[in-house]
Chain A
Amino acid sequence: MEPLLVIKNLHARVEGKAILDGIELTVNAGEVHAVMGPNGSGKSTLAYVLSGREGYEVTEGEVIFDGKDLLAMAPEERARAGIFLAFQYPIEIPGVSTSVFLKSAVNALRRQRGESELDAMEFLKQAKEKLSALKMDQKFLSRAVNVGFSGGEKKRSEIFQMAMLEPKLAILDETDSGLDIDALKIVAEGINALRGPEKAALMITHYQRLLDYVVPDKVHVLAQGRIVKTGGKELALELEENGYAAFNAASKDAA
């Protein structure tokens, strides 16, 4: 079977500065991959490049997602093709209600899949189910996107959106950071609930902790814009133990 995501020799620049320096990564459907690596190594950049953020210029390489040329697609096309990015720092959007925006996102995806659109009642019913599974208050729906949410609430809100959108590939950028132990378990359950033979996840994280709950098939170390090591879940434990010294992380900051 063809892999869900193939990244080949991916180079990218931000504001003229080369950040990604030849990423090679293949993710099969059904797999969960963890991406770890020192601060500033390019993890979020990779996530943004995959989701099509403006200003992230690909200078070389290609990305094939579900058989399609991902880099040729607009962000919304990628989302509809099944890419979801849980942001490291979800922004606040005053004046845009979570339910209004999410309903229109859900329906954009459903149209894409040839499914009928949800009406207000159906949407609300689904949303309430997912919210209670994530032990989130229903008032989230009527509030403006992320406005006034605590750090942990923002992360949970990302997972809630993911649960509603049911992506093929979830890219979770440090979704575990800033979560208390209980919230971490809930979020992990949310991620696990979405695992399936046709789905995959790329979890960017600094901590082994999340990986106790969402056990990855593979762990990658991203340093200085490249995947410098790939291993099984035991690699995460090793990193927890020894840090990134072996990957010469400090030189990046000095450069």
Chain B
Amino acid sequence: MTVPARRGASDVHEATCKAYLDRFATMRAELPGAGLPWLDAWRARAIERFAEHGFPGPRLEEWRFTNLSKLAETVFEPFPSAANGISREDLGGYRLEDGSDHLLVFVNGRLRPDLSSPGAPGDGITVTGLSRALEDDAEAVEESLIGAGDLTGEERAGAERAGEERSASLGQLNAAFMVDGAVIRVAANAQPERPVHLIFLAHPNKEPAGMHLRNIIHAGEGAKLTVIESYAGLADGPYWTNAVTHVTAEKGAAIQHFKFQAEGAGAFHIAVTDVDLHQDASYTNFVMSLGGILARNEIRARYTGEGVHCALKGVSLARGRQHVDTTTSVDHLMASGVTDETYKGIVDDRARSVFRGKIRVAPGAQKTNAYQLNQNLLLSDRAQADSKPELEIFADDVKCGHGSTVGDIDAEALFYLRARGLEERDARTLLIEAFLGQLIDDIEIAPVRAMARKAFTGWLAGLGG
């Protein structure tokens, strides 16, 4: 008797991995920075580790709620062809209301100088593409990348490290294939007035494209910087944005970091933002996630100096069959750090939102003040939200707390508003806005606030009856 060959999921994933390895072998000599010994070695080590670990599976705690098997079924071409049809006019909808002095536009993962206006260097800020930075100042790039979270060589226990590596294997794939991204450096005490805006457009052609973006954001001592990342898809077909962003705020630096994730309907968006905060640094991260079929936004923040102030905020808007994962991990290594974390999910249809938030307070990180809140509003019976806070506290003189809620629209409130004559839809909208609370209003920078408001209103307008 012959048994028809059945390809199990793991075979498919293995085939995908193999395809990436083959692609790496043929492309490695042409990758940006090829020939730089440290980078060649770094990429080689990364692809090896990816080969060893493969795609992170649901057995890993970090990926328990987010299943990557669909992502792993497809080989996303890591060097997608450029889409030439895009002109400045196409950017209108993604631009800040009042423009920006520093604009980098990436299409299909590559910087498009013709669409960008990075601004003249001079006010202490330089904004370039990664490929270009590898040509101009590879040493600085090396310094920013080595020791980065996904490939760190720190002396941690072997098992823990292996686990971390496994769950970060997509970061390793990114390290192997990274082609471009933004490199933003602000000199000590420089405080450029206008934000830096990064627009990542995906305009996939026939083949599913994989964009392995790598961004570096560095604010020197006492520097001040605002960065906005906008991700958008110009097609509904499948593609994959795999972004890794390194953020460093030196002593006393202040960074406001925003992200609008509005990928195309069939897109996978996996992003890791790795944040190093030095003494008295302040960092605000705000993410609005509304695109893609599967999105994961992971933030890993380390407080390596005392007196850090960090605010992590986000809104996940999900409908249809979207899956939106917010994973944060905050490491209070030093004393007197403040973490103020609020994530809200609004989930409709059969969509799902996932929140995993870890706050670790190291021994000696006294006077830590950390609060984490995750709230979810389910707009349909089949919508789902998972929330997993995790506090690990090894110091005694700290204030730490967390809260997490999952609920429906309050039927009594809905009736109250309708009984006053409000259309059901308008009443629901009011209650959804009320649920969102101050998250958008609290954005200090007016054009960014306007962008968030517009995105949210646009999403609300798409609500079913």
Please tell me if the beta carbons of B416 and A95 are within 8 angstroms of each other in the complex.
Answer: no
Q: Smallest CB-CB separation from B434: which chain A residue?
A: A95
For residue A52, CB closer than 8 A to chain B, the reply is yes
A109 pairs with B421, CB closer than 8 A:
yes
Chain A residues 91 to 114 lying within 8 A of chain B, measured CB to CB, are 91, 93-96, 100-102, 104-105, 108-109, 112
Q: How far is the CA of A105 from the CA of B420 in the complex (A)?
A: 6
Partner of A52, one of B419, B420, B427: B419
- Digit string of B402-419 for contact with A (CB within 8 Å is 1, else 0)? 000000001111011111
- For B421, the chain A residues whose CB sits under 8 A away are 76, 79-80, 105, 108-109, 112, 165
Cβ of A225 < 8 Å from any Cβ of B? no
Report the Cα distance A104→B425, complex, angstroms: 12
B236 contacts the other chain (CB 8 A): no
Does A161 lie at the interface of the complex (its beta carbon under 8 Å from any beta carbon of B)? yes
Q: Residue B437 at the A interface, CB < 8 A?
A: yes
Are A91 and B420 interface neighbours, CB within 8 A? no
From B410, B412, B418, B434, give the contact of A75 (CB < 8 A). Answer: B418
Write the B421-458 contact mask toward A (1 if CB under 8 angstroms, else 0).
11110110011011101000000000000000000000
Nearest B residue to A93 via CB reads: B413
- CB within 8 Å of B: which of A51-109? 51-54, 74-76, 78-80, 84-85, 87, 90-91, 93-96, 100-102, 104-105, 108-109
Number of A-B contacts (CB under 8 A): 75
The chain B residue sitting closest to A77, CB to CB, is B421
Most interface-central of B411, B413, B433 (chain A CB within 10 A): B413
A186 and B423 CA atoms in complex are apart in Å by: 31
Query: For B418, B419, B422, B427, which residue has the most chain A Cβ atoms within 10 angstroms?
Result: B419
Inter-chain contact B431/A76, CB cutoff 8 Å: no
> In the complex, which residues of chain A have a beta carbon less than 8 angstroms from the beta carbon of B435?
95
Number of interface residues of A (CB under 8 A): 31
Task: State the interface size on chain B (CB cutoff 8 A).
Answer: 22
Q: How near does chain A come to B274, taking the closest CB pair, in angstroms?
A: 34
A 19-56 binary contact with B (CB < 8 Å = 1; else 0): 00000000000000000000000000000000111100
Q: A54-B415, A91-B413 are known contacts. Are A79 and B420 too (CB-CB below 8 A)?
A: yes
A84 CA to B419 CA in the complex, in Å?
7
B410 nearest CB across to chain A (Å): 8
Residue of B nearest to A107 (CB): B421
Instruction: Report A207 CB to chain B, min CB distance, Å.
Output: 25
Chain B residue nearest to A109 in the complex (CB):
B421
**B416 nearest CB neighbor, chain A only:** A91
CB pair B420–A101 under 8 Å, yes or no, is yes
Residues of A contacting B420 with CB < 8 Å? 79, 84, 101-102, 105, 161, 165
Name the residue of chain A whose CB is nearest to the CB of B424: A76
Give CA–CA (A139, B5) in the complex, Å.
73
Give CA–CA (A28, B359) in the complex, Å: 65
Report which of B411, B412, B434 forms a contact with A94, defined as CB distance below 8 A: B434
- Closest beta carbon of chain B to A30's beta carbon, Å: 23
Residues of A within 8 A of B427 (CB): 76
Q: Are B418 and A74 in contact (CB under 8 A)?
A: yes
- Contacts A74-B424, A96-B431: A79 and B418 contacting too (C-beta < 8 A)? yes
> Which residues of chain A from 129 to 145 have any CB-CB distance to chain B below 8 Å in the complex?
144-145
18 additional contacts (CB under 8 A) given A74-B424, A104-B430, A165-B420: A52-B419, A54-B415, A76-B418, A76-B421, A76-B424, A78-B419, A79-B418, A79-B421, A93-B413, A95-B433, A95-B434, A96-B413, A96-B431, A100-B430, A101-B417, A101-B420, A112-B421, A144-B434
Which A residues lie at the B interface, using CB under 8 A?
51-54, 74-76, 78-80, 84-85, 87, 90-91, 93-96, 100-102, 104-105, 108-109, 112, 144-145, 161, 165
Give 28 A-B contacts (CB < 8 Å), ordered by A residue: A51-B419, A75-B418, A75-B419, A76-B418, A76-B422, A76-B423, A79-B419, A80-B421, A84-B419, A87-B416, A91-B413, A93-B416, A93-B431, A93-B434, A95-B431, A95-B433, A96-B417, A96-B431, A96-B433, A101-B417, A101-B420, A104-B422, A104-B426, A105-B421, A109-B421, A112-B421, A144-B434, A161-B420
